Chains A and B, each alone.
Chain A
Amino acid sequence: MAQMTMIQAITDAMRNELKRDENVLVFGEDVGQNGGVFRATEGLQKEFGEDRVFDTPLAESGIGGLAIGLGLTGFRPVMEVQFFGFVFEVFDSVAGQMARMRYRSGGKYHSPITVRSPFGGGVKTPELHADNLEGLMAQTPGVKVVIPSTPYDAKGLLISAIRDNDPVIYLEHMKLYRSFRAEVPEEEYTIPLGKADVKREGKDVSIITYGAMVHSSLKAAEELEKEGISAEVIDLRTISPIDIDTILESVKKTSRVIVVQEAQKQAGIGAHVASEIQERAILHLEAPIMRVSAPDTVYPFAAAEDVWLPDFKDIVEKAKAVIEF
């Protein structure tokens, strides 16, 4: 075991896969010699060579096309989109192309591609860096969407994502990159995609969440505990497909649910989670499913993040609302 930050765990997962499978290629803007704008690919080009870890011209759509073409010729591309706000430039390659490759060829071709990309607020980035656009991806048939919240999950999920033979969008929350260290095994291990994790057990209310909101939810659970409320925190880890079994198990136990996301209310996947629960477990519910999310405006100017982003206090308030309903 070693103490790692999430970004170190991500680098470690890529190193592991580059070593294990010579078809794994890591590429994007500044991921080579520079080691990535966040050091996610630090040292990888030096260790594996320019043929395996390389820079691209500054064009996201071209990077997506490159990944698709390399995937067709037997490679396993791990492409980086520098910030997920730039996904609009490569939306066709991702949602219009790689997501559909297996289907439109009737199973003949596939796209074993991992799209790594940082996102998320709280670090005062400039425009279109932090936007929570995972909801767009979750609405795209043919891709899986993974959002880790801990170093341990980040490594196991990224190894699984790279080994998956279908496209996986792997979103890395910038605020979590170096915010804490945790024990991460040095050897390889995988975490199945599509499996949620109960980060804290509880019996009064289920908080279903992902990304940075996992930590805000854990903090909220501590506050609630002080008031005698026992909150269960479920980290979805994969937001498409969602792990309905783990969600239902928790809901049946607590009968009260809040879904917490950093994205705007009209975005993210909160509505989908709520809808699945009411369809499958309405008779177990003692209160409506409520959501904690950001206001339906464009992502805030950097100096307005503090008032805009949902935080643990919003979660505490909403949890009380479903308890007191």
Chain B
Amino acid sequence: MSTKTLEKVEGQFETFQILNEEGEVVNEAAMPDLSDEQLQELMKRMVYTRIWDQRAISLNRQGRLGFYAPVAGQEASMLGSQFALDKEDWILPGYRDIPQIVFHGLPLYQAFLYSRGHFEGGQIPDGVNVLMPQIIIGAQIVQAAGVAMGLKRKGKQNVAITYTGDGGASQGDFYEGMNFAGAYNSPAIFVVQNNRFAISVPVEKQSAAKTIAQKAVAAGIEGIQVDGMDVLAVYAATKQARERALAGDGPTLIETLCYRYGPHTMAGDDPTRYRSSDLDDEWEKKDPLVRFRKFLEGKGLWSEEQENEVVEKAKEDIKAAIKKADAAPKQKVTDLIGFMFEEAPQHLREQLEEYTAKESK
């Protein structure tokens, strides 16, 4: 009897897909309403991000960037979901989710400063509703439940979206955040980017659940599993979750099935220790850029020339951003003391004095 119950549950979380690996529309009814320009913009962002990822890895190896978690392979998952948002929506990113906050308005040079470990990386410009990348896996999920509740109470027609990975779905905060948003019927979207590995641990070792999307059942909220290498499916699922949230129908958990082509981070992780080249090959064929390129070419909306323009633009932007990051003033202890409290307590005033004297030598 228990087996039957499980099958019944799992049967409700079939993968939602619009474009197959050949760039053919396999689910016409679900096609999102996007203009030609919007479709091209989506492709531009994915290409831009792929180049940025390549450059970031290389800049990291040169020692010109610090902490960096590669994103190649996850462009559809990251950018398709962000594309469905309104400018006023809030993003609570994980440490890998830099592309979403950059396309939401964080200047690229600040993303680089974040990577290097400079406070200017966290000084989000006014009107850009994003948090700094969250290092504690799961913390962004409970906080998103709070932001979503706040938006609803302030009468805003906006949602809070947050991202974690497949490993993150094992955390207590993952469940608590979804459950709180469900209990308060808050406008939140929880995205789990399932790239099959949490550093070296395969998703099968995280849980016996056949999908992550079905974990929505525990919170009593909607859940959907999406082909995370299909930008149109990710966009459509996020858009729908957003509309449902704003209509007062509560939060949604979206699981995107994707893959990171690179290592977990640039801090010495070597994926050949735990991933087979067969698996890499299998996922190379699912590359979100390849299938969307084919789709757009079929519609006469994309050419090699356009792609090269994006590549050049990305390279120029990155060069300029790195230059701007280089120009940021070196951090001083007195800066750091200044960011602790609105008003420094006595011990910090004393230390401020001490370090001001040191810094003026």
Choose from B131, B160, B346, B348 the contact partner of A109 (Cβ within 8 Å). B131
Choose from B122, B124, B143, B180 the contact partner of A59 (Cβ within 8 Å). B180
Q: Is B341 in contact with A69, judged by CB distance below 8 angstroms?
A: no
Q: A92-B139, A104-B132 are in contact. Are A144 and B345 (CB under 8 A)?
A: yes
B254 interface residue (CB < 8 Å to A): no
A241 interface residue (CB < 8 Å to B): yes
Q: A103-B339, A166-B341 are in contact. Are A70 and B173 (CB under 8 A)?
A: no
Q: Is A108 in contact with B139, judged by CB distance below 8 angstroms?
A: no
B11 interface residue (CB < 8 Å to A): no
CB-CB < 8 A to B341: which residues of A? 102, 142, 166
Q: A57-B180, A73-B147 are in contact. Are A65 and B173 (CB under 8 A)?
A: yes
**For the complex, what is the distance from the CA of A17 to the CA of B331, rounded to whole Å?**
38
Interface residues of A in 56-97 (CB under 8 A from B): 56-57, 59, 61-62, 64-75, 92-93, 96-97
Q: Is A65 in contact with B180, judged by CB distance below 8 angstroms?
A: yes
Q: A57-B180, A92-B136, A241-B347 are in contact. Are A72 and B342 (CB under 8 A)?
A: no
Interface residues of A in 133-162 (CB under 8 A from B): 141-142, 144
Q: Is the interface of B mostly helix, strand, loop or mixed?
A: helix
Q: Report the nearest B residue to A105, measured CB to CB.
A: B122
**For the complex, what is the distance from the CA of A290 to the CA of B149, rounded to whole Å?**
49
B148 interface residue (CB < 8 Å to A): yes
**For the complex, what is the distance from the CA of A71 to the CA of B90, rounded to whole Å?**
14
Q: Report the nearest A residue to B172, measured CB to CB.
A: A61
**For the complex, what is the distance from the CA of A68 to the CA of B120, rounded to whole Å?**
21
**For the complex, what is the distance from the CA of A72 to the CA of B173, rounded to whole Å?**
18
Q: A61-B172, A107-B339 are in contact. Are A66 and B345 (CB under 8 A)?
A: no
**Interface-centre pick from B120, B136, B151, B345 (highest chain A CB count, 10 A):** B345
Q: Is A75 in contact with B124, judged by CB distance below 8 angstroms?
A: no
A165 interface residue (CB < 8 Å to B): yes
Interface residues of B in 315-336 (CB under 8 A from A): 336
**Which bracket fits the contact residues of B?**
35 or more
B145 interface residue (CB < 8 Å to A): yes
**Interface-centre pick from B131, B142, B160, B348 (highest chain A CB count, 10 A):** B142
**Interface-centre pick from A56, A73, A166, A194 (highest chain B CB count, 10 A):** A73
CB-CB < 8 A to A92: which residues of B? 136, 139, 173
Q: A74-B154, A104-B122, A194-B345 are in contact. Are A93 and B338 (CB under 8 A)?
A: no
Q: Report the nearest A residue to B119, measured CB to CB.
A: A106
Measured CB to CB, the residues of B under 8 A from A are 90, 119-120, 122-124, 131-132, 136, 139, 141-151, 153-154, 160, 172-173, 176-177, 179-180, 183, 336, 338-342, 345-348
Extra contacts besides A69-B149, A166-B342 (5): CB < 8 Å: A57-B179, A64-B142, A65-B143, A72-B143, A102-B342
Q: List the 10 closest A-B pairs by CB distance, nearest first.
A: A69-B146, A65-B142, A73-B150, A62-B176, A69-B147, A241-B345, A106-B123, A106-B119, A66-B146, A103-B339
Q: List 14 A-B contacts (CB under 8 A).
A: A62-B145, A65-B144, A65-B145, A66-B142, A67-B146, A69-B142, A70-B149, A103-B336, A104-B119, A104-B132, A108-B124, A194-B346, A241-B348, A244-B346
